[in-house]
Structure 1
Amino acid sequence: MSEPDADANSVLGKVQRILEAFGPDEEHLSLSELSRRSGVAKASVHRLAQELVRWGVLERRGADYWLGMRLFEIGQRVPRQRILRDAARPYMEDLYHATGETVHLAVLDGMEVLYLEKVSGHHQVKKPSRIAGRMPLHCTATGKVLLAFGSRALVDEVVASPLERMTPRTVATPGLLLQELARARETGYAVEHEQTRIGYLSVAVPLLGATGTTAGALSVTAPLVRGDVPKFAGLLGMVARRITATLASD
């Protein structure tokens, strides 16, 4: 667990730590596990969890706690997420039907990729991604596009940080990452081959908002045996232009 900040022992700080104790693969946690993961005393977790259950932010089933639907309802009200997702979703479905592969919509959040929406079929990516999931910027196609068409300050911050190696093919040196970003700016799209999952590739393009700044990224992920980079890049570029027009008209 990271070192708590100055506000970590406030009520809101404790609530934040309790909610963030739920990882992407933990649907439910016991009171003891919540206390251990959050670093908050068990008695405090019990008291705050009772309040959170009353608010609907947590749900209790037997001895375990689950994240509540109230969080989902509030999340749907985030303007950037709702506007971008609503504009992109119909075109993502078109893209899925044209390729038969998994389509992701992602935005930048801090120094990570945050996935807002996903369209896939029954034969989806092994170890599937999930909506509201996060991934590193330096090794995902969506992350590379957000870096390539984002601010120089963000690029400098990323290359100055340790670049986690997720597979043997992950780009983990600043020089190689900068080369990939330059190539993405030149071609208009980014590609990653087996940098996050062995056996898969992804192609991504930037999505421009009404002001012309990069609002998000759209990608297609497929097994290498079906990965047609030129086809995916062409379809993504066409769809991205339509989404940008939709955003500009809203």
Structure 2
Amino acid sequence: MTGGRSAPERLLAVLAAFDHAHPALSLTAISRRAGLSLTTAHRLAAALTAWGALERDTDGVYHVGLRLWETAALAPRGLALRQVALPYLEDLYEATHENVQLAVRDGDEVVYIEWISGRSAVGVRIQVGARWPLHATGVGLALLAHETAALQDTYCAGPLAAFTSHTITDPALLRRTLADVRRIGVAVSARQVTDDALSVAAPVHGPAGTVAAAVSVVVPYSGARVPALIPAVRLAARGISRGLGWRPEGPAGTGGGTGT
């Protein structure tokens, strides 16, 4: 049942059994989702619980443990980035009173590492730690547009999942969209994940000028005032970039080719 996997691979398979749809698992569920025998799953879950990566409640159900969260918080694209970004995300929220998001790229997906929810804003299918394909979100388009041509070619050649009738699934259209993002400096994603939402996203630059993250605001599609949102999102992205150590090119710091 283990398929010849190494001990570390089996251990990681137990952790990978947990996700947003399955935050709490019985031992039987861990065994099934990890593809391990019940005996092996029990042994590995016990070891992870002893270390603190998992916690077991009084009903025998397992949850992700605090020690794993403490370790994950050390990731430079996690807590450290969130701490730098949070004041600018809060400013963006105060300026719009809409959903505000911060995300990074992980392979072919975006991972949301911060989210401020507007009390009366449009509903979104996002939470911290959630993953979505790059092409289907504003932050994903902002990130993919600034990747290498080779990575973009590989992504466009792959399957492009659809979530609504408006999701970009045509490779040629995706290429044109990415070119537009690079040209205007922001990504506008309309009705790609849900039919009632629109997002405006801008890239966040790290010290070397490369894109480290993306910030976005998500508003109701109906009545969205995109031209008014673009400067606010750009300002937030620029503030986070400066907080990370990025400095714009150009005379006297007036900005240049890497501006947001």
> Given the two structures, how large is their TM-score scaled by the length of structure 2?
0.90
Mapping of 1:217-232 within 5 angstroms?
217-232=214-229
Q: Aligned partners of 1:124 and 1:60: how far apart in 2?
A: 36
- 1:156-201 deviations in whole A, cap 9, x for unaligned? 1111101011111101010000111111111110011111111101
Secondary structure at the counterpart of residue 121 of structure 1: coil
- 1:109-132 deviations in whole A, cap 9, x for unaligned? 111101111111333543531111
- Letter paired with 2:230: A
Matched residue, 1:48: 44
1:244 CA displacement: 1.6
Evaluate the alpha carbon distance shift between residue 124 and residue 16 of structure 1 in structure 2; reply closer, same or farther with a 3 A threshold. Answer: farther
Tell me the matched-pair count: 245
Matched residue, 2:250: none
Q: In structure 1, which of residues 8, 14, 19 is the aligned counterpart of residue 10 of structure 2?
A: 14
Matched residue, 2:100: 103
Q: Aligned partners of 1:80 and 1:39: how far apart in 2?
A: 30
Matched residue, 2:20: 24
Q: In structure 2, which of residues 239, 244, 247 is the aligned counterpart of residue 242 of structure 1?
A: 239
Q: Which moved more, 1:8-17 or 1:144-153?
A: 8-17
Secondary structure at the counterpart of residue 184 of structure 1: helix
Q: In structure 1, which of residues 186, 204, 207 is the aligned counterpart of residue 183 of structure 2?
A: 186
Matched residue, 1:165: 162
Gaps of 5+ in 1: none
- Letter paired with 2:42: H
What is the identity percentage for the equivalent residue pairs of Structure 1 and Structure 2?
40
Evaluate the alpha carbon distance shift between residue 65 and residue 125 of structure 1 in structure 2; reply closer, same or farther with a 3 A threshold. Answer: farther
- Asked if the contact 2:97/2:121 (under 8 Å) is kept, the reply is no
Q: In structure 2, which of residues 124, 139, 144 is the aligned counterpart of residue 142 of structure 1?
A: 139
Q: Aligned partners of 1:208 and 1:187: how far apart in 2?
A: 16
- Asked if the contact 2:27/2:62 (under 8 Å) is kept, the reply is yes
> Given the two structures, how large is their TM-score scaled by the length of structure 1?
0.93
Q: In structure 2, which of residues 45, 53, 57 is the aligned counterpart of residue 57 of structure 1?
A: 53
Q: What is the RMSD computed on CA atoms of the aligned residues?
A: 1.7
Secondary structure at the counterpart of residue 244 of structure 2: helix
> Does structure 1 residue 34 correspond to structure 2 residue 34?
no
Evaluate the alpha carbon distance shift between residue 127 and residue 120 of structure 1 in structure 2; reply closer, same or farther with a 3 A threshold. Answer: closer
Mapping of 1:61-80 within 5 angstroms?
61=57, 62-80=59-77
> Does structure 1 residue 129 correspond to structure 2 residue 126?
yes
Q: Aligned partners of 1:249 and 1:214: how far apart in 2?
A: 10
